[in-house]
Amino acid sequence: MKRLLLLFLVIILLLLGFYAYRLYTGRVPSLTTVDAEISVSTTDLIHAFNTDSAGANKKYLGKVLSVNGNIKSIEKKSATVVLGADNISTAIRCSMDSNFVTALAGLKENENVMIKGVCTGYIPDDSGLGLGADVVMNRCVIEKNIK
Amino acid sequence: MMNRISILLTFILTAYGVNGQDKYFTKSGKINFYSVTPLEDIAAANASAVAVLDTKSGSFQFSILIKGFEFENEEMQEHFNNDYMESDKYPKAEFKGQVLNTSAVNFKKAGNYPVQVKGLLTLHGVTKDIQSTGTIKVDGNALRANSTFNIQVADFNIIIPKLVRDKVAKSVKITVDTSLEPLKG
């Protein structure tokens, strides 16, 4: 009887362990542990989408990118770092990983930065209001703050 | 004479100022979706919607990237992108419509105003009529536009494999939550 109870306990523990393992491994991983597939400069990435968005989608969509370039603005409220230049309306909007939101405090406009994120695509400016088009990156982490 | 010109100038400038306040936008609108079944609840969030509201004409539109939806579970996110939404082929979804009763909203007075929205939703390459209710919250210089509606997955040619049919709802709830700021033009 005791043995049966012990066996039962072991099985339950194993099941719990398996469940915890699945729960942990099933999570979307932080990009800190993932290598970038493509390294590209802000200027080149913007140019690629502006000139041939279909081709750029094929190359960059869904890929982990390491992008380096100038910080155009920082939007604390939405935890977004905008990369680009003042004289180009298209920008790269990097939505930060929730664990990296505090790192925003260490960034300044017009400094260079290297950000790793998943490219989720391109939203052209079809509002006709001059909002500028955007390349969007998600789950972003800061790789290097180049002063 | 000088006085008249300056009055005229002030008038023109104010008119322009008022005009500039008609359009509101955000690039960090939140769009979530929920699929609820007895077997499994699935939720995903996207916080990078571009939304524009014209308070004068009532036109409201938003664009969103499908790959920007985040799930708790990696496998679900992959199924969502690869199998259901085919986000490589259809990377973007958009809504183009109209707030039908902007006249019922006093954009100069703080408050919550119920609104009706109607328009075309394009998703997975299919465009459908959508009608919904929502709220516009006026708070000083900023607006917050909210809406919740349901879509039938089958309406957008999204095919759920038999194996998981009981885990994915046929009717999915979409919530739109946008904090809009005046467009400086």
**Tens digits of per-residue pLDDT, B96-153?**
999 999 999 999 999 999 999 999 999 999 999 999 999 999 999 899 999 999 999 9
Residues A126 and A90: their CA atoms lie apart, in Å, by 12
Q: Looking at this protein, which amino acid is placed at residue B64?
A: I
**Confidence class for position A144, pLDDT limits 50, 70, 90:** confident
**Confidence class for position A49, pLDDT limits 50, 70, 90:** very high
Chain A CB contacts of B65 under 8 Å are 120-123, 136
pLDDT reported for residue B137: 97
Is the per-residue pLDDT at B6 higher than 70?
no
Q: Give the contacts of A8 (CB within 8 A, at least 6 positions apart).
A: none
**Confidence class for position A1, pLDDT limits 50, 70, 90:** confident
Residue B141, φ and ψ in degrees, nearest 5: -90, -10
* Partners of residue A71 on adjacent β-strands: A83
User: With contact defined as beta carbons under 8 Å apart, do B94 and B124 qualify?
Assistant: no
Residue ranges of the alpha helices (H) in chain B?
A: 2-20, 74-79
Whole-number Cα distances in Å, B105 to A117, B15, B19, B135, B153? 40, 20, 17, 10, 33
Whole-number Cα distances in Å, A6 to A12, A14, A73, B125? 10, 12, 61, 57
Q: Supply angle C-alpha B178, B138, A90, rounded to 5.
A: 40
Residues B70 and A31: their CA atoms lie apart, in Å, by 14
pLDDT reported for residue B17: 43
User: What's the mean pLDDT in A62-80?
Assistant: 95
**Tens digits of per-residue pLDDT, B8-52?**
555 544 444 444 579 999 999 999 999 999 988 999 999 999 999
pLDDT reported for residue A147: 54
Residues A104 and A75: their CA atoms lie apart, in Å, by 9
Whole-number Cα distances in Å, A41 to A44, A147, B184? 5, 16, 29
From B68, B73, B87, residue closest to A136, measured CB to CB? B68
Chain B CB contacts of A57 under 8 Å are 88, 91
Whether the predicted model's global pTM rises above the 0.90 cut: no
Three-state secondary structure string covering B45-59: EEEEEEEEEECCCCE
Chain A residues with CB-CB distance to B under 8 A? 26-29, 57, 61-62, 75, 77-78, 80, 93, 95, 118-123, 126-127, 129-131, 134, 136, 138-139
Residues B163 and B169: their CA atoms lie apart, in Å, by 13
* Partners of residue B123 on adjacent β-strands: B126
Residues B86 and A63: their CA atoms lie apart, in Å, by 15
